[in-house]
Amino acid sequence: MAVRLARESHNDYLPELEAVAGNEFTLLFERPRPAASFRAGEVVNNTFRFLGTVRSGEVFYLFARLDPYEQAELVQKASASVKKEPASGDVDPKMVTRSRRAVP
């Protein structure tokens, strides 16, 4: 898999690769999903990209750890796409005025 990644990207930089068996997902994820739900190229938890499976006696699931720049970009995109709507108890700071002082 590492050689294939290097050939496809024409780059000698390779991400950190993780190969786990189906019963080892808890090593990477707090709440793992079923193995069948992963799709090639999918980013999981803004931390790993699922590359595919390899059969070597048993099935191993391959993940590439995203570099910090990719992670930051994904987090920034996610926060930009989510618009914060004020909750019922929130007050818009632009609408707050200070009461006037009474002059004797």
Helix (H) or strand (E) holding 70: helix 68-81
Locate the domains of the chain by residue range. Answer: 2-82
**Count of CB atoms situated within 10 Å of the CB of 7:** 9
Q: Give CA torsion, residues 78, 82, 88, 89, to 10 deg.
A: 40
pLDDT of residue 91: 58
Tell me how far the alpha carbon of residue 24 is from its chain's centroid: 19
Q: Would the pLDDT of 8 be above 80?
A: no
> Is residue 40 within 8 Å of 54, Cβ to Cβ?
no
In the predicted model, what is the mean pLDDT of the chain? Answer: 78
- Rounded to two decimals, the pTM is 0.64
Per-residue pLDDT tens over the stretch 70-97: 888 888 887 877 655 555 555 555 555 6
pLDDT band at residue 30 under the 50/70/90 scheme: confident
CA nearest 57: which of 25, 23, 24, 21? 21
